Chains A and B, each alone.
Chain A
Amino acid sequence: MADIAPVAGNGLLDRRAFLRRSGILITGYAVSPANAEPLSEAAWSKEPGTVVPAYGAPSKHEKAVVRTLSNPNGEPRNQHARTPHQQLQGIVTPNGLHFTISHGGNAEIDPAQHRLAIHGLVKRPLVFTVDALSRYPLVSRFTFVECGGNSAPMFSPEPIQASVQALHGLASCAEWTGVPLSVLLEEAGVDPKAKWLVAEGADAPHLSRSFPLGKALDDAMVALYQNGERLMPGQGYPMRLLLPGWEGNMNVKWLRRLQLTDQPGMTYYESRTYAQILPGGKAYQFYFVQEVKSFITHPSPGMGMKGAGLYEISGLAYSGNGRIARVMVSADGGQTWAQAALQEPVLPKAFTRFRIPWQWNGGPAVLQSRAWDEGGNAQPTRAQIIAVRGQTSKPPPVLAFPSQHYNGPTSWAIDTSGSVRHVYA
């Protein structure tokens, strides 16, 4: 038996504490639970169950695990569906819960009629069917996709009381399978004058975004499958552009066309929507990268603590620049820190699950995480972000996007009643 002493303030324990094989006596563990009810045969154990369905769905008891919708009646504007991080574990987002933003609804595409055209500054303009692309040697990779506007409520001058789903639900992670774009570009023959590609969807807004040729030849993919099955309609069925680690909107869904050009298109979404106004009136443009970030999902607002004792704190960390190298967690509002365990696999440009045991003494606590990636990039503090980027003059609506690309930390305050609340710390 080994006593596990806290490694940082307010009860954070060594990240390996849960991994030790011998019996562990957690210091301060003094709860003596009442005896359990006698076990009995339940109704479902005493008769055959239901017919196995052709396509499975979660248990009826999990009906509350859903995305939140910004525009459930489909009014003529964009629609967002946010991932319920507080109800999920691991690093893979189930397909039905992957976040979606649609600027003109989800296109309903007949794959037999869909085409992908590659043209412009190429030697051989080409068009591909879905069947043709499906015959190419395929590659798979886990990668997150994050909306540039994820976490936008953090630009509020006061912490907005909302769930982790409302604050950070516009990021998800899946295994994507498809054709490396470099293979298709080699087939088309890139003209040396080409520097950019303009990607276009077959959805109603014909959403278009430009991205540099260097990214196209690096790790860009025309994705056909998501977690083993064909893409969901909200992810661009039958194909989407995947630019690992780059701004979600650039990962054009319902992809139908790639034009190689010598200049960016300066499309609506890159020259207006996803350009971030800075204090003084200039604006960032072509932000591209979703920088290193982390947040705690368990516990988080809406998940009350059930009495003092041992808990696991866990959350998500990711970086558009590569692998997560380290996540530090604080339980005292950033005064002291302990290193969290990183759940394998730790993959580049993918969600990484971090975990750390915590002995909650029932007193006030402020939980916070900070991540570093393998390139040495540190998740900045909120103060560092606001100094460069500014903040709103008054709290915006939780669904508003006053700016984008917020990657600072998020702090959860726990009070003696066990309720969890969003604070700036």
Chain B
Amino acid sequence: MCTHNWKLVWVAMCFPLVASAAGPNLGQPLSHAELAAWDINVLPDGTGLPKGSGTAAQGAPIYAQKCAACHGEQGKGGISAALVGAPPMKGMDSPKTIANFWPYSTTLFDFIRRAMPFQQPRSLADEEVYALTAYILAQNKLIGEQDVMDARTLPKVKMPNRDGFIPRFPEKM
């Protein structure tokens, strides 16, 4: 009886230290391994980039097979946006392209991996995503034809419009 009461006191004292008092604490612990299939964010400093690598030469046939139907041959545009080209940025009439607008190369990997191809997202292997990223960057002459894109090299590709942005309400960031 006495022991039982002490257990309750112990639980009452320790519970707030390990969990929230505001809710019933129904979240289940989530390990890295359990999260892995969803852990696809790539941050601008390269955090989250997976193992693997790819080159423009490896990306070209994948592009032709899986991307060109919408984005046109060699990224020139089709029913979906052009991926190659950098028309001057003047005002809101200017098209936003990867080479004239996107501030970070990592966004290219992140977006292809999570959202493309439009009809079959998450169907590409990480190696294919690296290869397509390299292909598009090379077509835009932002990297060399032979450059290998991987977790170390991709974040170092500086995009031309990196400094083209003004936070609207910096005090809220």
Contact = CB atoms under 8 A, between A and B. Distances in A.
Contact of A215 (B25, B164, B172): B172
Interface stretch (B3-11, B40-48, B53-61): B40-48
A167 B66 CA distance: 36
Interface in A402-422: 402-403, 405
A287 B22 CA distance: 32
B92 A403 contact: yes
Contacts of B110: 208, 265, 267-268
A76 interface: yes
B41 A200 contact: yes
Given A125-B29, A265-B110, A266-B44, A277 B23 contact: no
A425 B121 CA distance: 47
B101 A204 contact: no
A334 interface: no
Chain A interface size, under 10 / 10 to 19 / 20 to 34 / 35 or more: 35 or more
Interface stretch (B111-119, B124-132, B135-143, B145-153): B111-119
Interface in A256-296: 256-257, 259, 261, 263-268, 271-273, 275-289
Contacts of A280: 90-91
Given A126-B28, A205-B115, A265-B110, A76 B121 contact: no
A284 B165 contact: yes
A29 interface: no
B88 interface: yes
A325 interface: no
Interface string B25-36: 111111100110
A127 B28 contact: yes
B27 A265 contact: no
Contact of A136 (B23, B39, B102, B172): B23
A283 B27 contact: no
Given A259-B41, A271-B107, A137 B22 contact: yes
Task: Give the bracket for the number of chain B residues in contact with chain A.
Answer: 35 or more
A263 B44 contact: yes
Given A76-B119, A283-B166, A266 B29 contact: no
B152 to A, nearest CB: 18
Nearest to B121: A204
B70 interface: yes
B96 interface: yes
Contacts of A54: none
B92 A392 contact: yes
B167 to A, nearest CB: 5
Given A205-B115, A277-B91, A392-B92, A285 B167 contact: yes
A132 interface: yes
A272 B88 contact: no
A136 B24 contact: yes
B12 interface: no
Contacts of A129: 26
Contacts of B106: 266
B103 A183 contact: no
Nearest to B44: A266
A140 B94 CA distance: 42
B121 A205 contact: yes
A73 interface: no
Nearest to A268: B111
Contacts of A128: 26-28
Contacts of A208: 41, 110, 114
A390 interface: yes
B169 A117 contact: no
Given A285-B168, A287-B168, A266 B30 contact: no
B93 A275 contact: no
B173 interface: yes
B115 A283 contact: no
Contacts of B93: 392-393, 402
Q: Which of A179, A263, A268 has the most CB of B within 10 A?
A: A268
Interface of B: 19-20, 22-31, 34-35, 38-45, 47, 70, 79-80, 88-94, 96, 101-104, 106-107, 110-111, 114-115, 118-119, 121-122, 164-169, 172-173
23 contacts: A75-B79, A76-B80, A104-B118, A117-B30, A118-B27, A125-B31, A128-B28, A179-B23, A187-B22, A187-B23, A205-B115, A207-B115, A208-B114, A263-B43, A263-B47, A271-B103, A272-B96, A275-B165, A279-B91, A280-B91, A285-B165, A286-B169, A286-B173
Ordered nearest first, which 5 A-B pairs have the shortest CB separation?
A: A126-B27, A281-B89, A132-B26, A206-B114, A186-B20
Given A126-B30, A267-B110, A268-B111, 6 more contacts: A104-B121, A119-B30, A125-B35, A208-B41, A261-B41, A261-B43
Interface of A: 75-77, 104, 117-119, 124-129, 132-133, 135-137, 155, 179-180, 182-184, 186-188, 198, 200, 204-208, 212, 214-215, 256-257, 259, 261, 263-268, 271-273, 275-289, 389-393, 402-403, 405
